[in-house]
Structure 1
Amino acid sequence: MTSAFRVLGSSARNASMRSLRTASIARHTRPYASAAAATKTSNGGMTETAFFPDEAAGPTVATAIPGPKSQAAIEQLNKVFDTRSLNMMADYRKSYGNYIADPDGNVLLDVYAQIASIPVGYNNPTLLLAATSPEMASHIVNRPALGNFPSNDWAEILTTGILSVAPKGLNQVFTGTTGSDANELAYKAAFMWKRRQQRGADVEFTQEEMNSAMNNALPGSPELSILSFKTAFHGRLFGSLSTTRSKPIHKLDIPAFDWPQAPFPMLKYPLEEHASENAAEEQRCLDETERLIKEWHAPPAAIIVEPIQSEGGDNHASPAFFQGLRDLTKKHDILMIVDEVQTGVGATGKFWAHEHWNLDAPPDIVTFSKKAQAAGYYYGNEELRPNKPYRQFNTWMGDPARAILFRAIVQEIERLNLVENTAAMGDYLFTNLEGLAQKYPGEIKNLRGKGQGTFIAWDSPRRDEVLKKGKTVGINIGGCGDSAVRLRPMLIFQQHHADILLEALEKIFKS
Structure 2
Amino acid sequence: MTIKPTEVHATLGKYMLADGFDLVLDLKKSKGCRIYDSRTGKYFLDGFSFFATAPLGCNHPAMTTPDVIKKMGEIAINNPTNSDVYTVEMAEFVDVFGRYAMPKHFHHLFFVAGGALAIENGIKTAFDWKIRKNLDRGVGKKGRQVIHFKDAFHGRTGYTLSMTNTFNQNKTKYFTKFDWPRIDNPKVRFPLTDASIKDVEEREQQAVTQIEGAIAKNPDDIAALIIEPIQGEGGDNHFRKEFFQHLRKLCDTHEMMFIVDEIQSGVGLTGKMWAYEHFDFEPDIVAFGKKTQVCGIMVSDRVDEVKENVFAVPSRLNSTWGGNLIDMVRCQKYLEVIKEEHLVENAEIQGKRLLQGLEAIEKKYPQKISNARGKGLMCAFDVSTPERRDALQGKIYSNGLLVLTCGSVTIRFRPPLNITAVEIDEALTIVEKTVKAF
Give the TM-score of the pair, scaled to structure 2: 0.91
Deviations 1:92-126 (A, max 9, x none): 22111001111120100010111111101201122
Counterpart CA distance in 2 for 1:148 and 1:410 is: 25
User: Are residues 1:303 and 2:228 paired?
Assistant: no
The 8 Å contact of residues 163 and 171 in structure 1, kept in 2 or not, is answered as: no
User: Are residues 1:495 and 2:430 paired?
Assistant: no
Q: CA deviation at 1:507?
A: 1.4
Any residues of structure 2 matched to 1:103-118 within 5 Å, and which? 103=38, 104-118=40-54
User: Are residues 1:258 and 2:195 paired?
Assistant: no
Residue 132 of structure 1 is matched in structure 2 by 69
Residue 288 of structure 1 is matched in structure 2 by 210
Alignment partner for residue 336 of structure 1, among 253, 258, 279? 258
Any residues of structure 2 matched to 1:212-231 within 5 Å, and which? 224-231=144-151
Counterpart CA distance in 2 for 1:87 and 1:234 is: 27
Q: Which amino acid aligns with 2:228?
A: E
Counterpart CA distance in 2 for 1:260 and 1:387 is: 30
Q: CA deviation at 1:328?
A: 0.4
Tell me which moved more, 170-179 or 125-134: 125-134
Residue 7 of structure 2 is matched in structure 1 by 72
Counterpart CA distance in 2 for 1:510 and 1:152 is: 55
User: Are residues 1:398 and 2:329 paired?
Assistant: no
Q: Which amino acid aligns with 2:51?
A: I
Alignment partner for residue 479 of structure 1, among 392, 405, 409? 405
The 8 Å contact of residues 190 and 371 in structure 2, kept in 1 or not, is answered as: yes
Deviations 1:401-456 (A, max 9, x none): 2111111111111111111111111111111221111111122211112xx10111
User: Are residues 1:199 and 2:104 paired?
Assistant: no
Any residues of structure 2 matched to 1:66-465 within 5 Å, and which? 70-86=5-21, 88-103=23-38, 104-129=40-65, 131-134=68-71, 136-152=72-88, 154-200=90-136, 224-246=144-166, 247-273=168-194, 274-296=196-218, 299-359=221-281, 362-381=282-301, 383=304, 384-449=309-374, 452-461=375-384, 462-465=388-391
Deviations 1:228-259 (A, max 9, x none): 11000000011111111113111111111221
Deviations 1:20-62 (A, max 9, x none): xxxxxxxxxxxxxxxxxxxxxxxxxxxxxxxxxxxxxxxxxxx
Q: CA deviation at 1:399?
A: 2.0
Q: Which amino acid aligns with 2:44?
A: L
Distance 1:92 1:139, change over 3 A: closer
User: Are residues 1:507 and 2:412 paired?
Assistant: no
Q: Alignment partner of 1:101: what SS?
A: strand
Q: Which amino acid aligns with 2:18?
A: T
Counterpart CA distance in 1 for 2:293 and 2:266 is: 11
The RMSD of aligned alpha carbons is 2.1
Tell me which moved more, 368-377 or 123-132: 123-132
Deviations 1:192-244 (A, max 9, x none): 1112212349x9xxxxxxxxxxxxxxx77x56111111000000011111111
Distance 1:352 1:223, change over 3 A: closer
Residue 63 of structure 1 is matched in structure 2 by none
Q: Alignment partner of 2:226: what SS?
A: strand
Structure with bigger gyration radius: 1
Q: CA deviation at 1:138?
A: 4.8
Deviations 1:277-316 (A, max 9, x none): 2211112212212221232378220011000000000111
Q: Alignment partner of 1:171: what SS?
A: strand
Tell me which moved more, 161-170 or 321-330: 161-170
Q: Which amino acid aligns with 1:303?
A: L
Q: CA deviation at 1:86?
A: 4.3
How many correspondences in the alignment?
Answer: 422
Please list every run of 5 or more consecutive structure 2 residues that lacks an aligned counterpart in the other structure: none
Give the TM-score of the pair, scaled to structure 1: 0.78
Q: Alignment partner of 1:265: what SS?
A: coil
Q: Alignment partner of 2:381: what SS?
A: strand
The 8 Å contact of residues 374 and 406 in structure 1, kept in 2 or not, is answered as: yes
User: Percent identity of the aligned residues?
Assistant: 33
The 8 Å contact of residues 263 and 289 in structure 1, kept in 2 or not, is answered as: no
Counterpart CA distance in 1 for 2:10 and 2:188 is: 44
Distance 1:198 1:133, change over 3 A: farther
